[in-house]
Structure 1
Amino acid sequence: MIYVLAILLPPLGLLFNGQPFAALGNVVLLVVCGVLGLLFPGLWLVPSIHAAVSIYMTREDRRHRELVDAIERHGPPPDWRR
């Protein structure tokens, strides 16, 4: 659901994902692409793509951090060297 929000309202999707600085940068990107989008219509997609990729990367980073924390707490799985 966050990806739909990121595509339709990119800064709001980034804010809900906990990325306020990326949301602020996305607002600037949205304004620039809005002005230049009159000449190049494909630029309207750039803020949405930025938001979706940023949300994906942040979620992958959180998942990776959780795995590393679990390994540090409990040790590696029993058969991890096969």
Structure 2
Amino acid sequence: MSKNLHIELGDKYVVTGSTHDLILNEKRIIKDGKNAGQETLARLGYYSKFEHLVKELCHREILQSEAQSLEELSDYIFALGEKLSKAVES
């Protein structure tokens, strides 16, 4: 029996998977239909290694950040690293 992985990364992402793969999911709220207002997970990608998943997550977050300078971007990346570290430890 394999143990399924479920790691909450803040209020935006969830890592799921098994012993063979990792899935990066984004939390979203259903807008229409009978399940409107409920949270769902949208798959963003499948990864065989955790470091590949983390690189993609960082890439997505950097592109979506509102940093206007290299210093702000550096601070944002540092805070993101701290948040990921805490999520994985818990």
Same fold (TM over 0.5): no
TM-score (norm 2): 0.31
Larger radius of gyration: 1
TM-score (norm 1): 0.33
Q: Which has the higher contact order (CA 8 A, sep 6+)?
A: 1
